Amino acid sequence: MLFAFGKLPIIDSLDLSDFPFKKVIFGITCANFLFERYVAYRQYKLLKSENKKVPKALEGHVDEEKFAKSDAYGLAKSKFEMVTSFTSLVVDLATLTMFSSIWNYSVSIGNCILSTIMRKPFVMSLNANNIAFFILSQTISTFLNLPVSYYQHFVLEEEFGFNKMTKSLFFMDSIKTLLLVNAIGSIPLYILGLVLKKCTENFVFYIWMFMIGLQITLFFLNDLVIQPLFYTFTPLNNKELEDKINALAKECGFPLSEIYMIDGSKRSSHSNAYFSGLPFMKKKIVIFDTLIEDSSIDEVVAVLGHEIGHWKMNHISQMLIISQVHLTTFLMLFDMVFKNAKMFADFNFIIDPLSKVPTASLPGSNYALVNDFPFLVGLLVFSQLVQPTNLLMNFGMNLFSRHNEYQADNYAAKLGKGEDLKKALIQLQITNLSTISVDKLFSMYHYSHPVLCERLEAIDKYTAEHEKKSG
């Protein structure tokens, strides 16, 4: 059978009856881990070297003490990441091994809870089973990650003066996050299950349309519900800064509607600023209180000039288009394999010989027969299978993102705010203790922004070229 997406015929299934899914996925997972460890080791080795000195572009701005503290912070994060990456590998491999068991217990617990509530035996639908599996998986993941997250905030970040969270706030945020993920994730999963079951002939198209709708919905939920649960948004109370931002927006034709300040300092001393709003809609600018405290008014305006540059050059729209192409490609590939019985059998699901439908044994019973494939398990397994393409995609997206950052910096410089932007970037580097010494491969793999020295040199070069053309 052929699936027509536009004019491109795509085979909707592949014969993978002999493909060793489990061995290949375990191998890919371990290979990905080793590659990331190699990249991390390069950065660790650079930070450990003793012959480093302040880059020429930062001389006069960053002294030896701040330079050493920045490297120390980077080294501490590198050591921490080495430990957490290994534990993540163990958890990932254990999860892959126990997929069928987690599925069994989630179904069993869900049926038990509903049977108790309804006071009669109850058997959940496949969609409900997938939701139960999702909730149980997220809950287990959250609790496993708590010690790691606790150490990160109250030991690592605390040591370098960044953590501002209380322990009660930390646990409250963890509970809020878990409840939000389960609540917001369950509804799309239910709809996704219906689409998979009802729209087999136009699977990719309908899922693609659903995902676009989901992304737009999550955007509004993030602004209206999610962010206000964690931060307090207040109108900007600095008249001079507000006037300069409005003047900048008017100069650039930026459709500004509101300016807010949020209490980022309640959780961290890191600084940031951003704008939100879908393409062709009014925008809201949000500034962290830490940025206002640590930077001058002109520096804050320069940072926002950079952000407006992203909007002016349609970077957000470009990223959305790329993400949709990536999503469509992923769905096409997923459609070829996600109902492959061999894939589920490799992960200890029992295949009914007549229907070829994956089943799984439950405690106290022979089988948990389902009327379709446990698609969420298939999705998670397939996500592991395509890790190499995600790795390459990561390099490509970082390259594209860095190109966009240079363009946004140049736009701010064109507005005459190059020097203020440089000062702001340097101040952000100092305030956040961002690593100054960065290995090239590590930067290419992990950084969506160019390193500071590269950005400063590019701003100087563009400013000089612009002044030469102007005069």
Write out the catalytic residue numbers: 307, 409
Token duo for residue 384: 């592991």
Token duo for residue 327: 């999503």
281 CB-side CA count, 13 A: 14
Tell the residue number behind the tokens 């299978």, with chain if given: 385
Q: C-alpha 197: how far from its chain's center?
A: 29
Nearest CA to 352 out of 337, 376, 372 is that of: 372
Token duo for residue 70: 């920045």
284, β-bridge pairs: 258, 276
Give, to the nearest 10 degrees, the angle between helix 126-151 and helix 99-118: 110
Rounded-to-integer distance, Cα 447 and Cα 373, Å? 38
Rounded-to-integer distance, Cα 33 and Cα 54, Å? 32
HEC-encoded secondary structure of the chain: CEEEECCEEEECCCCCCCCCHHHHHHHHHHHHHHHHHHHHHHHHHHHHCCCCCCCHHHCCCCCHHHHHHHHHHHHHHHHHHHHHHHHHHHHHHHHHHCHHHHHHHHHHHHHHHHHHHHCCCCCCCHHHHHHHHHHHHHHHHHHHHHHHHHHHHHHHHHHCCCECCCHHHHHHHHHHHHHHHHHHHHHHHHHHHHHHHHCCCCHHHHHHHHHHHHHHHHHHHHHHHHHHHHCCEEECCCHHHHHHHHHHHHHHCCCEEEEEEECHHHCECCCCEEEECCCCCCEEEEEEHHHHHHCCHHHHHHHHHHHHHHHHCCHHHHHHHHHHHHHHHHHHHHHHHCCCHHHHHHCCCEECCCCCCEEECCCCCCCECCCCCCHHHHHHHHHHHCHHHHHHHHHHHHHHHHHHHHHHHHHHHHHHHHHHHHHHHHHHHHHHCCCCCCCHHHHHHHCCCCCHHHHHHHHHHHHHHHHHHHC
Token duo for residue 74: 């980077």
